[in-house]
Amino acid sequence: MKTLNYAVVMLIILILVACSPKEESAKEANKLGDSNSLASENQVIEKEDPESEEVKADSQIEITLPADFFETEEDLDALIEAEKDSGLGEVEKNEDGSITYTMNHAEQQEMLDNIRENTTETIKDVINSEEFPSIHDITYQDDLSEFTFVVDKATYESGFDLIGTIGIGMSGIYYQHFNGAEEDANEVVVQIVDESTDEVFDEIVYP
């Protein structure tokens, strides 16, 4: 089930990328325009070389997702099809069952931003869901490498709220991969904390 859920999480992220409006790009363009205006009025401001910035943004990087992310060929094919709709880089199926993304730095950052946004929305849903009554709060490291679930211990241990950590943990794994983490060093730690004592009484490490 773990590998199937990896594919599902990635499909959700790519669908969100494909459907999201480009408002942020417009905002950034406006900010850049404002900066240029300020620079023209204050000649003491040092301008960066636009050509070097363009080269950096357009330089290509490769990111490989391992074969165990995908349970079946159907999962892999569905992900490749979703990638085409997302417009973020190119993807190639490798002989060992892994897939390799080729994208520029701007596309990489957009993917990271979408994974982070999807993760924060999932966190809100888990906290507010009646399906996970023991989970009262979730905090996380900025790089999504560690999450802390604050729970009612008795309710947590008597139910199945551990399930609420799965999607969030796997989103963290995706973030690490697209942020350039080496496969053997890529892990996400989920700590379960008793809200009444601040005791860490359980820890899950993904993958």
Whether 14 contacts 82, CB under 8 Å: yes
Residue 98 confidence (pLDDT) = 86
User: Using one digit for the tens of pLDDT, what is the confidence trace for 125-179?
Assistant: 999 999 999 999 999 999 999 999 999 999 999 999 999 999 999 999 989 988 9
CA 178 vs. chain centroid, Å, equals 8
> Residue 199 corresponds to which tokens in the numbers above?
């005791």
**Beta bridge mates, 100:** 64, 92
- Of 19-23, 33-37, 156-160, the range with the lowest mean pLDDT is 33-37
pTM: 0.69
Residue 130 confidence (pLDDT) = 94
**Residue 138 CA: distances (Å) to CA of 50, 86, 107, 195, 206:** 41, 29, 28, 11, 17
Whether 177 contacts 128, CB under 8 Å: no
Residue 201 confidence (pLDDT) = 97
Burial class of residue 9 (count of CB atoms within 10 Å of its CB; 0-12, 13-18, 19+):
buried
User: Using one digit for the tens of pLDDT, what is the confidence trace for 39-74?
Assistant: 334 344 344 555 555 555 568 888 888 888 776 777
Residue 35 confidence (pLDDT) = 38
Whether 5 contacts 164, CB under 8 Å: no
Residue 92 confidence (pLDDT) = 85
Q: Which long-range contacts (CB under 8 A, 24 or more apart) does 123-128 make?
A: 123/168, 126/164, 126/168
User: Using one digit for the tens of pLDDT, what is the confidence trace for 191-207?
Assistant: 999 999 999 999 999 98
Residue 90 confidence (pLDDT) = 83
In the predicted structure, residue 82 carries a pLDDT above the cut 70: yes
Q: Tell me which range, 7-11, 36-40, 80-84, is most confidently predicted by mean pLDDT.
A: 80-84
In the predicted structure, residue 84 carries a pLDDT above the cut 80: no
User: Using one digit for the tens of pLDDT, what is the confidence trace for 89-98?
Assistant: 788 888 888 8
Residue 113 confidence (pLDDT) = 94
Residue 70 confidence (pLDDT) = 72
Q: Rounded to whole angstroms, how far apart are CA atoms 92 and 108?
A: 16
> Residue 30 corresponds to which tokens in the numbers above?
């406006």
Residue 168 confidence (pLDDT) = 95
